[in-house]
């Protein structure tokens, strides 16, 4: 998989939030095989400088970081956050989130396209958190995005792929654009299903962080995305409405 | 001078943003700064004079999804 000219072997990207401890974040990332982890920027308290300790742990992992603009609701907020993230993390990559609705955390696709255009012109390599809408996808590509990150389901919901048809349409319309299903994945089977329908990668966080055993779940996801990718490459059979015997009928003994 | 740092009112002596960050105990921490909702790159902090009532955001790497 090639994302902005960076070759990645693993189709799994992992978020770093909500884990029981920093040590478990590190162990989960290692177990997942992820080569990209998402991070954010938040207010630093001068008393304990918690962000510095976190950043030290992430740097030691040796993975690439994909900073996000989580929580931003306007183009201005998202663009300013991206500038700050580029300076702190030293990467032009930005996971662009412009949130439009509180209950579903659905992207404000109008603001998203505008912010993507501004940031691309400023040299950012934008990973837009979007819906499966084809027209929005067209606009994001026209704005300069070279990766699309459609949601599977609302962030943190663990519902899996809410619109399989929509994701298939996106894949069919943009066969050469890297697609990363971002958000809503709850189980390894969801991630495998996404890979089977031909997306290039999945990005998830809560499903691993909030599992009873995050490290075990990270390993399960690693195997699931690999299985899904192998299955997709192996060209799955076409489903049928009716049964068809798999054992040959020819040569069956007459014993009745 | 009274300024707002990460949403909290603080009293500081230093006027330059770069010096104010030291006074506020951020020292050499890896942070990004904004003054009155505008990003101030690290390279420009020593050229930014703060004014009474300014709103400063000091952001650091955090967990994210």
Residue A202 phi/psi, 5-degree rounding, is: -130, 145
Pick from A40, A47, A52: which is nearest to B30 by CB? A52
Dump pLDDT digits (tens) for A70-127: 999 999 999 999 999 999 999 999 999 999 999 999 999 999 999 999 999 999 999 9
Contact: B62, A18; criterion CB under 8 Å: no
Read off the pLDDT of residues A22-50 as tens digits, 9 standing for 90 and up: 999 999 999 999 999 999 999 998 777 88
Percent with pLDDT over 70 in chain A: 100
Q: How confident is the model at residue A154 (pLDDT cuts 50, 70, 90)?
A: very high
Instruction: Give the C-alpha separation, A64 to A2, whole Å.
Output: 14
* pLDDT higher than 80, residue A142: yes
Q: What is the pLDDT of residues A212-237, one digit of tens each?
A: 999 999 999 999 999 999 999 999 99
CA distance B9 to chain A (A): 13
- What pLDDT digit, counting tens, does each position of B16-65 carry? 999 999 999 998 899 999 999 999 999 999 999 999 999 999 999 999 99
The DSSP H or E segment spanning B14 is none
Specify the 3-state DSSP secondary structure of B54: coil
**Best residue of B5, B43, B63 to probe chain A, by most A CBs closer than 10 Å:** B63
CB contact under 8 A, B65 and A54: no
Q: Does position A7 have pLDDT exceeding 90, yes or no?
A: yes
* Residue B12 falls in which region: left (phi positive, over 0), alpha (psi -120 to 50) or beta: beta
| Predicted pLDDT of residue A47 | 76
CA B53 vs. chain centroid, Å, equals 12
Rounded to 5 degrees, φ, ψ at A79 are -65, -45
| Euclidean distance between CA atoms A203 and A64, whole angstroms | 14
Cβ–Cβ below 8 Å for A51 and B29: yes
- Chain A positions touching B31 (Cβ under 8 A) are 44, 51, 88
Q: Are A29 and B52 in contact (CB under 8 A)?
A: no
Residue whose tokens read 């439009």: A100
Residue B25 sits at the chain A interface (C-beta within 8 Å): yes
Torsion of CA A217, A215, A183, A159, to 10 degrees: 30
Q: Are A1 and A178 in contact (CB under 8 A)?
A: yes
Which chain A residues are within 8 Å of B58, Cβ to Cβ? 43-44, 46
* Cβ pair B60:A44 closer than 8 A: yes
Q: Is B60 on the interface with A (CB under 8 A)?
A: yes
Q: Is A19 exposed, middle or buried (0-12, 13-18, 19+ CB in 10 A)?
A: buried
Dump the DSSP string for chain A: -EETTEE-S--EEEE--S-S-HHHHHHHHHHHT-SEEEEEEEEPPTTT-HHHHHHHHHHHHT-EEEEB-TT--SHHHHHHHHHHHHHHH--SEEEE--B--TTT--B-HHHHHHHHHHHHHTT-EEEEEE-S-HHHHHHHHHTT-S-BEE-SSSTT-----S-HHHHHHHHHH-TTS-BEEES---SHHHHHHHHHTT-SEEEESHHHHTSSSHHHHHHHHHHHHHHHHHHHHT-PPPP-SS---SS-STT-----
For the segment A185-206, the average pLDDT, to the nearest whole number, is 98
Closest C-alpha to A41, from A51, A49, A53, A50: A51
B41/chain A closest Cα distance in angstroms: 7
Which residues are CB-contacts of A110 (< 8 A; sequence separation ≥ 6)?
Answer: A100
CA distance B45 to chain A (A): 13
* Predicted-complex ipTM score: 0.94
> Is A47 close to B25, i.e. CB distance below 8 A?
yes
- Is A51 within 8 Å of B58 when comparing Cβ atoms? no
Residue A205 CA to residue A40 CA, distance in Å, equals: 13
pLDDT of residue A101: 94
Q: pTM, whole model, 2 decimals?
A: 0.93
Question: Which of A61-70, A121-130, A247-256, B53-62 has the least mean pLDDT?
Answer: A247-256
Concatenated DSSP letters of A38-99: EEEEEEPPTTT-HHHHHHHHHHHHT-EEEEB-TT--SHHHHHHHHHHHHHHH--SEEEE--B
Res A114: pLDDT: 98
Q: How far is the alpha carbon of A155 from chain B, nearest alpha carbon, in Å?
A: 9
């Amino acid at each position: 998989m090639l994302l902005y000219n960076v070759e990645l072997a693993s189709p799994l990207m992992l978020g770093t939030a909500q884990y029981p401890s920093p040590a478990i974040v590190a162990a989960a990332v290692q177990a997942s095989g992820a080569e990209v982890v998402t991070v954010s920027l938040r207010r630093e308290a001068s008393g304990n400088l918690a962000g510095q300790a976190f950043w030290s742990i992430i740097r030691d992992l040796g993975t690439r970081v994909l900073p996000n603009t989580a929580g931003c609701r306007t183009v201005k907020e998202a663009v300013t956050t991206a500038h700050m993230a580029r300076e702190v993390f030293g990467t032009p990559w930005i996971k662009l989130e412009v949130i439009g609705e509180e209950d579903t955390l659905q992207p404000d696709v109008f603001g998203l396209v505008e912010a993507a255009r501004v940031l691309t012109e400023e040299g950012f390599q934008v990973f837009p958190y979007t819906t499966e809408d084809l027209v929005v996808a067209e606009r994001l590509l026209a704005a300069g995005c070279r990766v699309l990150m459609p949601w599977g389901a609302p962030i943190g919901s663990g519902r899996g792929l809410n619109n399989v048809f929509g994701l298939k349409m996106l894949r069919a319309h943009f066969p050469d654009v890297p697609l990363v299903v971002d958000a809503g994945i709850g189980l390894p089977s969801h991630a495998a299903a996404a890979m089977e329908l031909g997306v290039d990668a999945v990005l998830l966080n809560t499903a691993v962080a909030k599992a009873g055993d995050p490290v075990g779940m990270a390993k399960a996801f690693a195997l699931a995305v690999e299985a899904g990718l192998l299955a997709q490459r192996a060209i799955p059979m076409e489903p049928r409405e009716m049964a068809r015997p798999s054992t040959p009928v020819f040569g069956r003994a007459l014993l009745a | 001078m009274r300024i707002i740092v990460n949403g909290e009112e603080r009293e500081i002596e230093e006027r330059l943003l770069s010096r104010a960050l030291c006074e506020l105990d951020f020292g050499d921490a890896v942070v990004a700064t904004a003054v009155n909702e505008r990003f101030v790159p690290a390279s420009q902090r020593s050229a930014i004079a703060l004014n009474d009532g300014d709103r400063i955001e000091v952001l650091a790497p955090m967990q994210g999804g």
